[in-house]
Each structure stands twice: as C-alpha cells, then as structure tokens.
Structure 1
Amino acid sequence: MVIDLNADLGEGFGIWRLGDDLALLDIVTSANVACGFHAGDPVTIRRTCAAAVDRGVSIGAQVSYRDLAHFGRREMEVEPEELCAEVLYQLAAVDGIARAMGGRVSYVKPHGALYNRICRDPGQAAAVVDAVADYDPTLPILTLPGSVVHGVAAAEGVPTIAEAFADRAYTPSGALVPRREPGAVIHDPAAVSARAVRMALDKSVLAADGSQVEVLARSICVHGDTPDAVRLAQAVRDQLLEAGVVLQAFA
C-alpha cells in the first residue's frame, strides 16, 4: 500500500507565522504551499519551496479565493473568468518561485471554501480546471473522492487525485463536516492516526453519525494550522509506517 501524506504549509503572512513548516516538511511527502490569496507572501513562499526542495518533498500550489481576511474559508461568488485568471495567477507565481529554488509545482490543491465549492459546483470547478489546463494540463488536482471536479477535469484531460482527511470529521455522504460545527476537527493524535491507517488499509472512515463511509484515496491530509499539528502529523506517519504503508508522493 502506497500513500502520500500532505499538509498545508507556508500559511504565514508578513511577521505573522502559522505552524511549524520546517518540522512538518520532515514528516510529509507533499506540501500544499499557500499562494498568497488566503495566506502566504513572497518571502514565505520562497522559504517554504526552498525547504521542500531540500527535503525532496513534492510541492503543490494551494490556490484559493482572494480572501486574506477570512483565511480563504469564506465562500465567495466569483465570475468564472475572474476565478480562472486568479487561479492561474497563483499557480504561475508559486511555480516560478519553486523553479527558482530548484523544484517545481507538481500538483494543484484548492484551499478552504474553494476546495469545498468545486466538490459540488460544476461552474466553479470548470474555472479551476480551465486555469490548470491553460498552465499545464498534466498537473493533477487534489480533491475529495466523489467530487464533481473529477468529471469536469476528465473532460479536459486534466488528471485528478483523491484525498482523505485524517483530522476532519465526515458526513454520511462522504463530505467534510463544516468547520463551524462541533467536532469538525479532530485533535487527538491516537484517533487521527487510527483514522489514517483505516483510510489507507480499509479504504473507509467512520462518519460523525457512526456509519461507515468508503474513502478511496491516494493521499491523506493533516492540516498544518491546527494546534499540535506536528505531533498529529508525526503520529499519523509513525502509525502508517508501522502498518506497513509506504509513504510516497503521488506527483
């Protein structure tokens, strides 16, 4: 069993820092680097990309709505042409910096509200896919299993990769429980790591109501902005390896 372990990184801005990027880069196999629209700035992006290249960690562009004030977690109505251009702008910027550091962007992962929106909205999904297709149609888009973006991307010849979230609660339909609801984020390292192993080996997860949900994922995400993120990610890595899972980037 081969699984990618990814985390959202580079989410500081100016003098404000969020999470321990360097410690997480020693744990994960893929880094979703904030592109400046929900978090991140040129210096942070440069440092994160350089550190990822040094460690052999795959770099992904974590594109989002233009929403620094709400960390990209506020759903917004953006015209498709504008959204396409903004995603293209973010992708090109981070890939340019990554290449200057000796690496490159290997995939795209939307962030926050945009991530959830393209799981169900074909129009917004098409805008994101169009941006990726314009820039490099070989770049895979990381998304939830069952997301509408899989079909939209397939129609344009853009690959997709399914992922699961070890530290997020699921609804019975396989969607993520909204962050505003109690229990949406799981903080216990033992619980999070056990969920990751189940996702990798059994291809399933227990939903918030106790039902079993099928999860066919090549990558597992642990958020870098949660308290004790490093401890959570390390527990997930350790338990996956102990279960015989090979950790390897998909891109």
Structure 2
Amino acid sequence: MKESGKTVDLNCDFGEGYGAYTFGQDAELLQYVTSVNIACGFHAGDPHTMRRAVEQSLAAGAAIGAHPGLPDRLGFGRREMAITPEEAYDFTVYQIGALSAFVRAAGGRLQHVKPHGALYHMANSNSAIAEAIVRAAAATGDALTVYGQSGSLLLEAARREGLAVASEVFADRAYERDGSLMARNKPGALIADEEQAAAHAVAMVKNGYAITVDGERAPVQADTICLHGDGPHAVQFASRIRKALIKAGIRIEVLDHSK
C-alpha cells in the first residue's frame, strides 16, 4: 500500500482501577497504542495503581499523559459537577503533580494531559473551565501537550496559551453534523461493529471527516484516536483499527512536540 503521508497517535485511558478493583484491559491494549492517559487518583487510580501503570507504560514505550477527572469515584467521573474555574485549576494541578512525581521517579517524562469523562466534556464547551485546565497544564512547567476533542474550546484555549495540542477523535462513536460527539443515550451513538469502527478511523485520519449517524460527513482533525479499553471487545477493536490504519498507509507514531 502506498504511503498516505499521514500519521496518527493511538491513545487509551489507563490505570483506572484502584485498591482491589480493576478496570479495562490495560496490559492487552499496550501492544496497540502509542500513548496512555493514566488516572490520577480522583475518578480512579491510587498511588500503587499509578506507579504500576507508569512502570508498565514506560516498559512498553508508550508516551504517558495525566488523565485528571472530577472527584467522583462513585460516578467514575462521568457525572458533571458544578465546579468553579478555580476548582478546575486546583483539581488539575493536583492530579498532574501526583502523576508527574511517579513518572519522574521511574525515569520518564510526562508528555500530555487529557481530562477525563465529564471534565473533558465540560472543557469542550465551557470556555472558563477550558482556560483553567490549560492554565494548570502550563503552570506545571513540563511543556505538556493538551489532548482534546477536535474543534473543542479546550484546544482553542491551549493554542492561545501557546501549548502544543493533539486533536482527538473517537472511532467507536457517531458524530453530529457539527463535528461534536453524539450523546451516548441516543440510538446509534456507539459503534459496536469493529469493521465500521476501523473504516471510520481511516476516514477521519486520511480524509479529515467523521461519519455522522445519518451518513453525512463532519469535518474533524485526527491527530490522535482514543481506543476505549472498557468494552468487552476492546482488544479486538484496537487490533482491527490499528491494522486498518496501517493498511491504508497511515503511520502510527507517538506524538512528540518536545523537539
């Protein structure tokens, strides 16, 4: 297959268990992804889980990012909370700092930050929350890349702050015509067929559009694709998507804005 000249990062959320509880298929997914977003102790994760996740990721050569969420373990950080921008800043600095310490202790470098769950979606549409998260990322001094949904206010805020950005898309989610994700509770919002998800991933990277639920095309920028690890067929999805991208001539590489 002729090279398309396109490259993409594959990321997954990682280390989202805590205590005696496990979540997702971390070890199996590491062979398919190039970057990971490690839970930092609020929505999931604990010191021991964070350390192990960092060590696993470094051993696999995956770039490590902080995955700060809302302080809501019972809701797994997926329920929106009425927080102030100041709280969003403090939550984010706290969580980045915790993970960064483990990464440095293991001899690695923290590459990026990607908000989790409800905090991610709040940052997509709330400019004050987006700006607070970006200020927190900038304040760490680690020159972090900000991962955010394609077309989001979070990416706009990061660009204004002078931070590197990675525009994220989702292979297993349907899109609205404006390029936003379809709400999970709507019929057809989740793509359960791995062939359809793989074709969707290729179209977004190679052609710059997402397929809407009604068959239309929504423009997106695909620097990184999120591979969810919590579905029953997550590993098969990841394998199929990676193979489809390579077959289409798309190179799968770690994003590196440090050079």
Q: Shorter chain as normaliser: what TM range?
A: over 0.9
Runs of 4+ more than 6 Å apart: none
Alignment RMSD: 1.3
Separation in structure 2 between the aligned mates of residue 79 and residue 138 of structure 1, nearest angstrom: 25
Corresponding position of 1:206: 211
TM-superposed CA distance for 1:22, in Å, is 0.9
Corresponding position of 1:220: 225
Find 1:185's aligned residue among 163, 181, 190. 190
Corresponding position of 1:59: 64
Q: Is the 8 A contact 2:110 2:142 kept in 1?
A: no
Separation in structure 2 between the aligned mates of residue 48 and residue 24 of structure 1, nearest angstrom: 12
* Structure 1 SS opposite 2:74: coil
Distance 1:186 1:96, change over 3 A: same
TM-superposed CA distance for 1:245, in Å, is 1.1
> Where does the alignment leave 5 or more consecutive residues of structure 2 unmatched?
1-5
Corresponding position of 1:73: 78
Corresponding position of 1:122: 127
Corresponding position of 2:94: 89
Separation in structure 2 between the aligned mates of residue 68 and residue 127 of structure 1, nearest angstrom: 22
1:138-190 Cα distance to aligned partner (Å, 9 max, x none): 21111112111223222222222101100111111111112222332222211
Separation in structure 1 between the aligned mates of residue 26 and residue 198 of structure 2, nearest angstrom: 20
Separation in structure 2 between the aligned mates of residue 71 and residue 177 of structure 1, nearest angstrom: 20
% identical equivalent positions: 42
Normalising by structure 2, what TM-score?
A: 0.93
Find 2:11's aligned residue among 1, 6, 10. 6
Q: Is the 8 A contact 1:37 1:66 kept in 2?
A: yes
1:26 maps to 2:31: yes
Normalising by structure 1, what TM-score?
A: 0.96
Find 2:175's aligned residue among 154, 170, 173. 170
Separation in structure 2 between the aligned mates of residue 154 and residue 200 of structure 1, nearest angstrom: 21
> Where does the alignment leave 5 or more consecutive residues of structure 1 unmatched?
none
